[in-house]
Chains A and B, each alone.
Chain A
Amino acid sequence: MRQLSGQRAWLLQRLSAVLLLAAVLAAVLFMLAGPRLDWQAWRSFVGHPLGAVCILVLACALGAHAWVGVRDVLLDYVHRAALRLLLLALAAGVIIVTLLQILLIVAQAALVQL
């Protein structure tokens, strides 16, 4: 049961946590000390290649973190194999669709600015 061995999941959870924590700290610092982020500035940040990559990397970290967390909870509390598989598939589907939606929105914002 290589998939359930847990060490890779554990590492992925910690790495994504550190990345998300760094992003939260950066956002709080910006809110406290940075310029006011108006709509134009927000749009050009999301549309800029660097901003878009930042958002997509963070979205992937969030998706990975959510997946490992939900997986841990389901493996701990749901013991019926069929139900467990169903819920795992549902969670994976929701997370993947959410990430794809974010990818589309960011890509669109980048295209508008070309």
Chain B
Amino acid sequence: MSHSHTPGDRGDASPARARAPLGVSRPRFLSLAAIRFPVGAIASIGHRLSGLLMVAILPLLPALLASSLRSEREYQALLEGWASPWALPVEFLVLWAFLHHLLAGIRHLLMDVGIGAGLASARISARIVIAAAFIAALALTSWSRWT
């Protein structure tokens, strides 16, 4: 992704428009709402977002590990999960981040060795990764509630 900063990039002063050849009016900035990202870009940005999310909760890991070892009661409490209604979206988000990062990562590793690196197959696998991570996170979140 390159962000080019040509003089016409910012502000709505007219020089950029005046310099455009043949008086063609061109968009002078990237409007995120107007752009349709290719599906591979969505899978890729999801990979980055999910990775960042997991790095953000990384510092919680030592406390969880210590708690799991401290007493049987705390160990069971961790396994049974957090009963608050807030747990539901948090659980979904963490599961989604883990699953999306895992699946998108496997996709990248396979592409590194040349599997599925063509445009058509890369588009299909990107769709599969996005859908599978979402559906599996939803299924695991509901399954953990009903069992």
Given contacts A39-B72, A66-B58, A101-B62, are A73 and B109 in contact (CB under 8 A)? Answer: no
Can you name 16 extra interface pairs (CB under 8 A) apart from A24-B102, A106-B65? Answer: A14-B112, A42-B68, A46-B69, A62-B58, A66-B58, A69-B55, A70-B52, A70-B55, A73-B48, A73-B52, A94-B59, A97-B59, A98-B61, A98-B62, A102-B62, A105-B66
10 contacts between A and B (CB under 8 A): A14-B109, A14-B112, A18-B109, A21-B105, A66-B55, A73-B48, A73-B51, A76-B1, A102-B65, A105-B65
Contact among A39, A76, A98 for B76, CB-based, below 8 A: A39
Residues of B participating in the A interface, judged by any CB pair closer than 8 Å: 1, 48, 51-52, 54-55, 58-59, 61-62, 65-66, 68-69, 71-72, 75-76, 102, 105-106, 109, 112
| 10 residue pairs, one from A and one from B, having the closest CB atoms | A101-B62, A39-B75, A39-B72, A69-B51, A66-B55, A105-B66, A105-B65, A98-B59, A102-B62, A109-B69
Distance, CA A106 to CA B76, complexed state (A): 19
Distance, CA A17 to CA B106, complexed state (A): 9
Given contacts A39-B76, A76-B1, are A95 and B58 in contact (CB under 8 A)? Answer: yes
How many residues of A sit at the interface, in one of the four size bands? 20 to 34
With CB as the reference atom, state the residue of chain B lying closest to A101. Answer: B62
With CB as the reference atom, state the residue of chain A lying closest to B58. Answer: A98
Distance, CA A109 to CA B66, complexed state (A): 9
Q: Smallest distance from the beta carbon of B69 to chain A beta carbons, Å?
A: 5
Distance, CA A106 to CA B75, complexed state (A): 16
Q: Which residues of B contact A62 (CB under 8 A)?
A: 58
Given contacts A21-B105, A24-B102, A102-B61, are A42 and B52 in contact (CB under 8 A)? Answer: no
In the complex, number of A-B residue pairs with CB atoms less than 8 Å apart: 55
Q: Smallest distance from the beta carbon of A94 to chain B beta carbons, Å?
A: 6
Q: Which residues of B contact A66 (CB under 8 A)?
A: 51, 54-55, 58
Q: Smallest distance from the beta carbon of B60 to chain A beta carbons, Å?
A: 9
Contact among B52, B69, B76 for A105, CB-based, below 8 A: B69
With CB as the reference atom, state the residue of chain B lying closest to A47. Answer: B69
B69 touches A42 (CB 8 A): yes
With CB as the reference atom, state the residue of chain B lying closest to A66. Answer: B55
Q: Which residues of B contact A70 (CB under 8 A)?
A: 51-52, 55
Q: Which residues of A contact B66 (CB under 8 A)?
A: 105
Contact code string A75-89 (vs B, CB < 8 Å = 1, else 0): 010000000000000
